[in-house]
């Protein structure tokens, strides 16, 4: 990551996002508080993708003509840019995927698909154990369920504590000599909980287990340096970090990627093909079968440029202020219960709550009538909601363009929602 190159001026930032001018009704401005699901894109990202499509669009790596060379340069240059943003030691450790879900599935599938030529520490087999957490997004739970089912491994999980953090009391008994993988989220998409990566990595390393980090919610909102985290794999999505949909990233230690079997097979990931057998390219090409998301990679690189220009420390501080404001405001409202840790260094900008006696979908509809775009449901984290006996929650998630006035409008909107339902009782 580079040093910030522009002031963190929220009004100037908002001017970069064309969609923020939208009116939901003639007299109702749009307040977008759903960046945790999909972020909006600044002009710089949109323009970068359009410029590629209108000037250099061609298939990469497959032609000797100048257009193919330009497209390849754009694609591989984007890989280098993403690697720099994440602090990856090498661009060859960056695999472009469809999203974080595909990146996590890639790791889970490959760890169960090795043969005798695959190193033992990269093969999950019957009798092994896979450890996840009770707060995981389904994308970092279901692939491990499937891996356990296919291989006969045992799936275990770290429980949630009452304060909405992981209960690490029995961590030494949960991570055993049989543990092969520890997969966990960096930041909960529901609670805003920031998990203790170093402690979990240390415990996993002590038994030789691999660590897989779901960073879809953390990379857009705080400085993340994959080399210093100590994990083995990191997954993230472009559309949550001001970039395009249809592109994600898997970062993996090169020695792991080079030893794993492929996930998808076909064109572009091969070395030599015969009728009866094939050999496979070195990473990252081995894991990028078919035509890749080229324009999306260009857009993602532009998103990295944009965030770096703002400074990720500044982004994190901006969202901390907004989160503290929202938590204080909601705490003053009767019948509103917030789920997540108290404000502080272990808390980030996803604020989920319930309105007593009301279904979150009803709450979301009233907020929508006020122009407030918030998320409702179980947020692809059903076990977490079941742990706290919830059918679902309403979630506001903040971004670089969110203002204190919008957070104030959100808190006022929740209060008006409570009053509306109270008048019906």
Number of domains in the chain: 2
pLDDT, residue 13, reads 98
In a domain, 383, yes or no: yes
CATH number reported for the structural domain that contains residue 376 in this entry = 3.90.1150.10
Unique residue bearing structure tokens 């500044």:
314
3-state SS class at 174: helix
User: Does residue 40 belong to any structural domain of this protein?
Assistant: no
Name beta bridge partners: 273: 278
In a domain, residue 1? The reply is no
Do 403 and 359 lie in a common domain? yes
pTM for this prediction = 0.97
Give the 3-state secondary structure of residue 267.
coil
User: Same domain, yes or no, for 25 and 111?
Assistant: no
Domain-embedded: residue 194? yes
221 and 72 within one domain: yes
Q: Among 291, 308, 325, where does a domain finish?
A: 308
Decide if 77 is inside a domain.
yes
- As a whole number of angstroms, the longest Cα–Cα distance in the chain is 73
d(CA 236, CA 214): 7
The residue behind tokens 């179980």 is 378
Is residue 76 included in any domain, yes or no? yes
* pLDDT score, position 424: 67
On the CB side of 266, CA atoms within 13 Å amount to: 7
| 104 inside domain | yes
Please indicate, yes or no, whether residues 222 and 247 belong to a single structural domain of this protein: yes
Q: Which SS3 state, helix, strand or coil, does residue 168 take?
A: coil
Judge whether 41 lies within some domain: no
Kindly report the backbone phi and psi dihedral angles of residue 229, in degrees, each rounded to the nearest multiple of 5, phi listed first: -70, -30
Could you tell me if 154 and 221 lie in one domain?
Answer: yes
Does one domain contain both 62 and 143?
A: yes
The domain boundary residue, chosen from 308, 329, 350: 308
3-state secondary structure of 329: helix
Q: Answer with the one of 308, 341, 368 that is the final residue of a domain.
A: 308
Shared domain check, 163 and 73 = yes
Q: Do 73 and 184 belong together in one domain? A: yes
Q: How many CB atoms are located within 10 Å of the residue 70 CB? A: 16
51 and 27 in one domain? no
Distances (CA, A) of 148 to 152, 212, 220, 327, 401: 5, 15, 31, 39, 41
pLDDT at 62: 77
Ramachandran class of 235: left when φ > 0, alpha when ψ lies in -120 to 50, beta otherwise: beta
Burial of 344 (0-12, 13-18, 19+ CB in 10 A): exposed
CATH number of the domain at 94, please: 3.40.640.10
Which residues form the catalytic set?
380
Do 165 and 218 lie in one domain? The reply is yes
End-to-end alpha carbon distance in the chain? 53
Residues 297 and 379 in one domain: no
Domain limits at 339?
Answer: 10-32+311-424
Q: What is the pLDDT along the chain (425 residues), one digit of tens a residue?
A: 678 889 999 999 999 999 999 999 999 999 999 999 999 999 999 999 999 999 999 999 877 899 999 999 999 999 999 999 999 999 999 999 999 999 999 999 999 999 999 999 999 999 999 999 999 999 999 999 999 999 999 999 999 999 999 999 999 999 999 999 999 999 999 999 999 999 999 999 999 999 999 999 999 999 999 999 999 999 999 999 999 999 999 999 999 999 999 999 999 999 999 999 999 999 999 999 999 999 999 999 999 999 999 999 999 999 999 999 999 999 999 999 999 999 999 999 899 999 998 999 999 999 999 999 999 999 999 999 999 999 999 999 999 999 999 999 999 999 999 998 876 65
Do residues 26 and 159 both lie within one domain?
no
| Degrees, nearest 5: CA angle 101-102-104 | 65
Dihedral (CA of 387, 389, 390, 396) sign: negative
């Amino acid at each position: 990551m580079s040093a910030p190159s522009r002031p963190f001026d929220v009004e100037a930032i908002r001017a970069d996002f064309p969609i923020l001018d939208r009116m939901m009704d003639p007299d109702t401005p749009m307040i977008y508080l759903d960046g945790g699901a999909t972020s909006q894109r600044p002009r710089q990202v949109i323009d970068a993708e359009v410029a590629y499509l209108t000037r250099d669009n061609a298939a990469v790596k497959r032609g000797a003509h100048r257009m193919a060379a330009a497209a390849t340069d754009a694609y591989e240059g984007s890989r280098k840019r993403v690697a720099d943003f994440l602090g990856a030691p090498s661009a060859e450790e960056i695999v472009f995927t469809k999203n974080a879900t595909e990146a996590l599935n890639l790791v889970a599938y490959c760890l169960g698909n090795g043969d005798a030529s695959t190193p033992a520490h990269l093969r999950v087999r019957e009798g092994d154990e896979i450890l996840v957490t009770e707060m995981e997004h389904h994308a970092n739970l279901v692939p491990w369920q499937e891996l356990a089912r296919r291989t006969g491994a045992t799936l275990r999980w770290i429980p949630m504590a009452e304060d909405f953090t992981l209960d690490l009391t029995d961590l030494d008994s949960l991570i055993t000599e049989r543990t092969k993988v520890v997969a966990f989220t960096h930041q909960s998409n529901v609670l805003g909980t920031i998990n203790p990566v170093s402690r979990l990595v240390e415990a996993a390393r002590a038994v030789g287990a691999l660590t897989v980090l779901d960073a879809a919610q953390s990379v857009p909102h705080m400085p993340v340096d994959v080399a210093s985290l100590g994990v083995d794999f990191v997954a993230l999505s472009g559309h949550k970090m001001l970039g395009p949909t249809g592109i994600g990233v898997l970062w993996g230690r090169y020695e792991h990627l080079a030893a794993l079997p492929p996930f998808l097979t076909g064109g572009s990931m091969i070395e030599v093909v015969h009728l009866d057998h094939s050999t496979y390219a070195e990473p990252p090409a081995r894991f990028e079968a078919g035509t890749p998301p080229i324009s999306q990679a260009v857009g993602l690189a532009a998103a990295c440029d944009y965030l770096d220009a703002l400074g990720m420390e500044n982004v994190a501080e901006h969202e901390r202020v907004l989160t503290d404001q929202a938590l204080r405001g909601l705490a003053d409202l009767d019948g509103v219960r917030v789920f997540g840790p108290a404000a502080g260094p272990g808390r980030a900008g996803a604020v989920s709550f319930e309105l007593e006696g009301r279904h979150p979908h009803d709450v979301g509809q009233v907020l929508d009538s006020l122009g407030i775009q918030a998320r409702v449901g179980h947020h692809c984290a059903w076990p977490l909601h079941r742990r706290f006996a919830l059918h679902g929650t309403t979630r506001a998630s903040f971004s670089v363009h969110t203002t204190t006035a919008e957070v104030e409008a959100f808190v006022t909107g929740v209060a008006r929602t409570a009053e509306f339902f109270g008048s019906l009782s």
